Amino acid sequence: MDIFLKKFETKYNTAPFCKIKLSDYKPAFEQTIQIARKEIDRIVSNQEHPSFTNTIEALDFAGEALDRLSSLFFNLNAAETSDEMQKIAQEVTPLLTTFQNDIALNEALFERVKAVYDQKEQLHLTTEQATLLDKKYKGFARNGALLAEDQKNKLRAIDTELAQLSLTFGENVLAETNNYQLHITNEADLKGLPEGAKEMAANLAQSKNLEGWLFTLDFPSYIPFVTYVENRELRKEISIAYGKKAFQNNAYNNEAIVKKIVALRHERAHLLGYETHAHFVLEERMAQNPNQVFTFLNDLLTKAKPAAEREFTQLTNFAKSLDGIEQLEKWDGAYYSEKLKQELYQLDDEALKPYFKLENVLQGAFTVAHQLFGLTFNEIQDIDKYHPDVQTYEVLNEQRELVAVFYADFFPRKGKRNGAWMTSFKPQYIKDNINERPHVSIVCNFTPPTPTKPSLLTFNEVTTLFHEFGHALHGMLANTTYPSLSGTSVYWDFVELPSQIMENWCYEPEALALFAKHYETNEIIPQQLVDKIKESASFLEGMATLRQLSFGILDMEYHGKNQAIENVKAFELEAMKVASLYPDVAENCMSVSFSHIFQGGYSSGYYSYKWAEVLDADAFAYFQEKGIFNQEVAASFKNNILSQGGTDHPMTLYKKFRGQAPQPEALLKRAGLL
């Protein structure tokens, strides 16, 4: 337990995963919370007049041991959890919520912060210091510091309940994902499925002592099944199973939780003087308010919908001509899209996979980062891992100084939630003249290797790797003084710019030549395949855009309007109908497993994926204009965006990099929607 109370005696102060027992966590949380409380008490009881240094700066560095412990524990709870760990999470979450509320509602502490804030014009602060001061003051004001005592108590109760509900929501989705399996014993039922996916399914069945093939709702198992298996009834079965996670009449149903979370978020916003939860959230975003977001989404909807409807008609006609399908259903989408893509571009994802061996793609991301930002990645074996699959690297700059420690965790397993994300085990900051370097991790669920083949990625998995690696670069290249402004600690609708811009290199021949090599022959991907990848980049882009917009609209309907939700399914149908193409599936409901907004931090923020696409298309247009490895543009991106974290307003940082505000035309042009 004492392990968390001092610097880890390890290389680069990395987490000693092997030495930490599950039984250590709860006592460690109790102890580090006590230490953090004492640090706060020292700030409050300081007899000196409140200053930026003794109040604002001291507050940002308070709770260092607790923050380190929290990042370790909750990262593992997402990537390598167990029933015991989830039980601990349920126990420590209320402790953390209470502690955070005690800080947010500490009147004496707020008085000191306010005293500094009220004299900010006379303090001659740097931009970063001024941003930190503003953030700390608003952090109190936006979390109830100005409320009466009875309202503060109400806020505490709401926050505690919301934290628990969010945790339970995620646990239910994970349980439902783990509880389903499709067991197939007749090989004829798998007609159309690529050999690699079939072999993976056979290995999974074997690991469970079953004959035949086993499929789950984990993406590397689920996606190939619905994309390639000719048996429409089986595609329907697994597709419906995927769509009804946490929407069944069992202990894991999330409908009541969704209604409760939405109601509590609005109640919390009203308590703080905001019209809706979205008004509260968007005050701290580039988009500023719900009207701006609705306008942005509807504007894109108007431009994308005609293209999406044309594409849907084209796909429907294609399915009809091929197999006599009269009505395209959700379980047909991926299957016929893949078939149509093969016909139009003679581009088969399976034909591409041999060129995208995971190790080569990862090395490609490293090489792109080296050419753009001068980084070198050396794999190291002398630091602890939390699972044998994890790969560990030291990241060095051109002067051979440590920039970051990088963890990569690529394959699905039982204790890992679905999807892909970037996170950090330790932030970057400068303290006592030491620039503490970050420990950054990316976690994915890619197609694992089999006894006969290495891990070969679909092109979608390639772009996912580059996307998460972009977030990682934002964390790794951070160079700020204060931990709360470092790396990805930026406005939520700005955080996707570094990740989404990196995906662009996956389509450039100059970049593909660095890593797209056949895993058996080492032959570089043929130019005609590269041309087809580029050509097909905007394939069914109208439908893809509409799908993303539908999620953003649903999020805003939940959080940007005050309305009672009687029936989650009916509410969802009504909200998304403006962007729907496929017929509804009665057994399915998306909201109850919409982890981004009910478990992650995307509530009132799902629109930011499209918002960031506008930024990334405009930013990459600048790279294309000057050269995709242009040193001047790369240096400007690194110095004005990647290293700056949240030290200044995102639009200010963007204009410093680009010399102008972002132009939406770049996105519409790239998506073929103009």
Nearest to 213 by CA among 189, 232, 231, 233: 189
**pLDDT the model gives residue 325:** 96
pLDDT mean over 179-208: 96
How many whole angstroms separate alpha carbon 264 and alpha carbon 252?
A: 20
Element (H, E) at 396: strand 391-396
How many whole angstroms separate alpha carbon 582 and alpha carbon 337?
A: 14
pLDDT mean over 85-97: 95
How many whole angstroms separate alpha carbon 292 and alpha carbon 290?
A: 5
Q: Spell out the alpha helix ranges (H) of 142-186.
A: 149-179
Q: What are the phi and psi torsion angles at 594 (to 5°)?
A: -80, 75
How many whole angstroms separate alpha carbon 430 and alpha carbon 62?
A: 14
For residues 268 and 262, the answer to whether their CB atoms sit within 8 Å is no
Q: Which of 360-364, 480-484, 491-495 has the lowest mean pLDDT?
A: 491-495
∠ CA 592-594-598, rounded to 5°: 90
How many whole angstroms separate alpha carbon 160 and alpha carbon 99?
A: 10
Nearest to 320 by CA among 14, 63, 329: 329
Q: Which domains does the chain have, with CATH numbers?
A: 2-104+106-146 (1.20.1050.40), 180-243 (no CATH), 354-539 (1.10.1370.40)
Nearest to 482 by CA among 644, 642, 641: 644
Burial of residue 150, with CB atoms counted within 10 A of its CB: 0-12 exposed, 13-18 middle, 19 or more buried: exposed
**pLDDT the model gives residue 664:** 81
CA distance readout (Å), 431 to 56, 57, 239, 283, 481: 14, 10, 51, 30, 7
Nearest to 468 by CA among 439, 501, 430, 490: 501
Query: At residue 144, does pLDDT exceed 80?
Result: yes
pLDDT band at 479 (very low <50, low <70, confident <90, very high): very high
Q: Which of 237-241, 307-311, 536-540, 632-636 has the lowest mean pLDDT?
A: 536-540
Nearest to 621 by CA among 662, 673, 674, 672: 662
pLDDT mean over 573-596: 97
pLDDT band at 636 (very low <50, low <70, confident <90, very high): very high
For residues 470 and 437, the answer to whether their CB atoms sit within 8 Å is no
pLDDT mean over 309-332: 97
Question: Where on the phi/psi map is residue 452: left (φ > 0), alpha (ψ -120 to 50), or beta?
Answer: alpha
How many whole angstroms separate alpha carbon 399 and alpha carbon 404?
A: 14
DSSP letter for 435, please: E
What count of Cα atoms within 13 Å lies in the side-chain half-sphere of residue 654?
23
How many whole angstroms separate alpha carbon 226 and alpha carbon 238?
A: 8
- pLDDT more than 70, % of the chain: 100
Question: Where on the phi/psi map is residue 311: left (φ > 0), alpha (ψ -120 to 50), or beta?
Answer: alpha
In the set 394, 468, 508, 541, the catalytic residue is 468
**pLDDT the model gives residue 616:** 95
> pTM for the complete prediction?
0.86
Copy the structure tokens of residue 270.
Answer: 């009203």
Paired with 443 in beta bridges are 409, 421
Query: At residue 3, does pLDDT exceed 80?
Result: no
For residues 32 and 67, the answer to whether their CB atoms sit within 8 Å is no
pLDDT mean over 381-410: 97
**Residue where the block lists tokens 């939630």:** 417
Paired with 393 in beta bridges are 379, 406
Query: At residue 109, does pLDDT exceed 80?
Result: yes
**Residue where the block lists tokens 């109601």:** 263
Copy the structure tokens of residue 413.
Answer: 């397993």
Paired with 435 in beta bridges are 430
How many whole angstroms separate alpha carbon 94 and alpha carbon 402?
A: 37
**pLDDT the model gives residue 665:** 84
**pLDDT the model gives residue 1:** 55
pLDDT mean over 394-423: 95
Q: Which residue has the higher pLDDT, 444 or 1?
A: 444
How many whole angstroms separate alpha carbon 603 and alpha carbon 554?
A: 10
Is 468 a residue of the active site?
yes
Go through 350-378 and write b for each residue having 16 or more CB atoms within 10 A of its CB, e for each that does not: bebbbbbbbebbbebbbbbbebbbbbebe
How many whole angstroms separate alpha carbon 266 and alpha carbon 270?
A: 6
**pLDDT the model gives residue 8:** 87
For residues 555 and 607, the answer to whether their CB atoms sit within 8 Å is yes
Nearest to 94 by CA among 156, 142, 47, 172: 156
For 117-153, the DSSP string reads HHTGGGS---HHHHHHHHHHHHHHHTTTTTS-HHHHH
Q: What are the phi and psi torsion angles at 376 (to 5°)?
A: -125, 135
